[in-house]
Amino acid sequence: NAGVTQTPKFRILKIGQSMTLQCTQDMNHNYMYWYRQDPGMGLKLIYYSVGAGITDKGEVPNGYNVSRSTTEDFPLRLELAAPSQTSVYFCASTSLRGEGEAFFGQGTRLTVV
The site for other proteins (CB under 8 A) is made up of 4, 31, 33, 40-43, 45, 48, 50, 56, 58, 90, 92, 94, 97-102, 104-107
Closer Cβ to other proteins, 6 or 85, answer by number: 6
Given 3-state DSSP classes, what are the helix, strand and coil percentages for the chain, each rounded to the nearest 5?
5, 50, 45
In angstroms, give the least distance from the CB of 107 to other proteins: 5
In angstroms, give the least distance from the CB of 15 to other proteins: 26
Question: Strand 76-78 to strand 31-37: parallel, antiparallel, or no bridges (unpaired)?
Answer: unpaired
Cα 20 to Cα 29: distance, rounded to the nearest angstrom? 21
> What is the SS3 assignment for 12?
strand
Closer Cβ to other proteins, 39 or 62, answer by number: 39
